Structures are given as structure tokens and as C-alpha cells.
Amino acid sequence: MHERRVVDVAVTHARSVRRQPQAEFVFALRGRTITSVRRHGKFLFAELDGTDALVAHLRMSGQLRINAAADELLKHTHVVITLDNGEELRFVDPRTFGEMFVDKLDDDRPAALRSLGPDAMDSRLSAAGLHARLTAGRRVSTLKAALLDQRALAGVGNIYADEALFASSLHPKRLAASLQLDEARVLRSQLRRILKAAITARGTSFKDEGYVDAYGQLGGYSRRHKVYGRDGQPCPRCATPIEKSVIAQRGTHFCPTCQSIRDVLETPR
DNA sequence: CGATCTACCTGATGGC
DNA sequence: TGCCATCAGGTAGATC
């Protein structure tokens, strides 16, 4: 893969570039060469000549796509970055929760991402390290809330939090501070396994549209969900109906039988 | 300080 | 069929 130079930038929806003045964004990009493309947690970033980075977060409905210039513009295309081979990097985002910005690189990541915890797939994060991050300073928060806290661990969202907790036989409402080291060991390996498989399957797409890769391909991981979106259906392990309730302000799916309680804030249900 | 709540937004879905 | 209300998701910022 060749390095690509940015030859032009067009922002057609101001909200998609809201962290900085639009003109600053365009000026910081035009003429720069993309030297690598990386990820930290849910943020994607392209290094620009090794000093700045073009950062993107897709939130729920965003897509980053590579298109030929002649390809039809999808509805909700908010940013178009023209590359020196004539192709375009397009940011498409119906709900406009996603964003792009240019930021200074600070060591291994853009400065704005400094407050994020280590990436959940980072092999240097040990079980003891994960244990410390999920328990440290937490007085009353649940395991589910801790897993979703991007300052503790970056990259785990609602779907994969539920899947990892199920695979680890941990109740989402467990007090985070009650997590034992041996449980953190299991959680670490299940998180890594699930995220790896989800990435291989190009993630989770619902229905006929939504989450796609840079070439418009849908993700196939939802077929592998064991609990997410399966409330009322039998647990694949013990056949108890999967429950859904709101935990940490998020729809949360779990098996009340397989995911042991031991130590919860309140009795579920 | 940690924990919790709200705004942001639109397409899909469910009820009538 | 159509209309309307509700829901889903991640993060920043406000508030408790």
C-alpha cells in the first residue's frame, strides 16, 4: 500500500468537524501525507507526516469509505478527502454523532486521546493490569459500567461488554470493586478472543445497513452474539431465557443462571 | 473526587 | 396505510 497525499478537503456538514474551526481542519490536512493508519479504542487515526493525525470517531452511525471520485455520493456524506490517486476518503454519518478532527500526535496517539485507557486488545495489558483498572477507585459502580469506562479500558462498547461478561460468567451488576484476580484473568482472555473474532467478522451490523467497512461490506458478527439482542431467547449454554435490563444507563443482556451473582448491589429482577 | 444524568440525532420499529 | 412515540448507541459536559 502506497502512502497517499491529501490533495483536497471538503466539509459539507459543520457538525462533523466540531472540535476546531473548519478552516483550521482543512488547512491542517491539505497537502499532508498519510504515513500510517491506526486505532486506539474506538478512535481511528491517520498519521500525517508523523507529526499530526487525522482522527475519526464513527460513534453509532458513521462510516469511513474509500470511493472512486465518480462514485455516487451517499446521502449524509459530510466530509470528502480527495487523495493523490484520485480516490476519495468519505465520512458518511446519518446521525452526526461521529466526528473528525486534526490533532497533534503525542507519542503513540493523538493528544486528545491521552485520557483513554489502554486499548482492550493491547497484549501488554496484563490480567493484573486489567484488574487494577477495573477496580481502582470504584466505590459503587458496576462491572458493566467499569467495562464501558473508556478511561479505564478503551474500545469496549455495549455489545462487546455484554458478550465478554457472558463468556466470563460474570454478572453485569457485580460491584466492579469485587472483581477477583482470577476472574480478571478470564475476562481478559475472553475480551481478547471476542474482539479479535468481531474484528475478523468486520464487526456487528444490524439489518441491511449501518456498520460497514471502508468498501461498504457489512459486518457479520451479530450471528455470533450469545446474549446481545437475544433477550427472551434461550441461553446457548443452559437454555434459561436471556434477560434484558438497564444497567449503567445501557440496555444490558445476560443469562441470570450462567452469570453468577455472589456480590451484587441489589438483587436483579 | 466518583457517579449519574442529559443532550446530541435519525432511522427503524411498534402501537393504534 | 399512516401517524406518532419510543428506542438505540458513545461521549462530553453538567450536575449531584
**For A124-136, how does the pLDDT look when each residue is reduced to its tens digit (9 = 90+)?**
999 999 999 999 9
Interatomic separation, CA of residue A188 and C1' of nucleotide B1, rounded (Å): 28
Residue A201 one-letter amino acid: A
In chain A, what percentage of residues exceed pLDDT 70?
94
Distance CA A175, CA A215 (A): 41
Whole-angstrom distance between the N-terminal and C-terminal Cα of chain A? Answer: 53
- The answer to whether residues A216 and A208 touch, using CB atoms and an 8 Å cutoff, is no
Q: Which residue is nearest to nucleotide B12 (CA to C1')?
A: A207
Interatomic separation, CA of residue A244 and C1' of nucleotide B15, rounded (Å): 21
Q: CB less than 7 Å from strand C: which protein residues?
A: A 41-43, 57, 59-61, 95, 97, 112, 148, 150, 157-159, 228, 250-251
The per-residue pLDDT for A48 is: 95
Burial class of residue A14, CB neighbours in 10 A (0-12, 13-18, 19+): exposed
A227-263 pLDDT tens trace:
998 888 999 999 999 999 989 989 899 999 999 776 5
The per-residue pLDDT for A1 is: 64
Beta-carbon count within 10 A of A184 CB: 22
pTM: 0.92
Distance CA A192, CA A60 (A): 22
* Counts for chain A of helices (H) and strands (E), in that order: 5, 11
Q: Which nucleotides of B are covered by protein (CB under 7 A)?
A: 1-6, 8-13
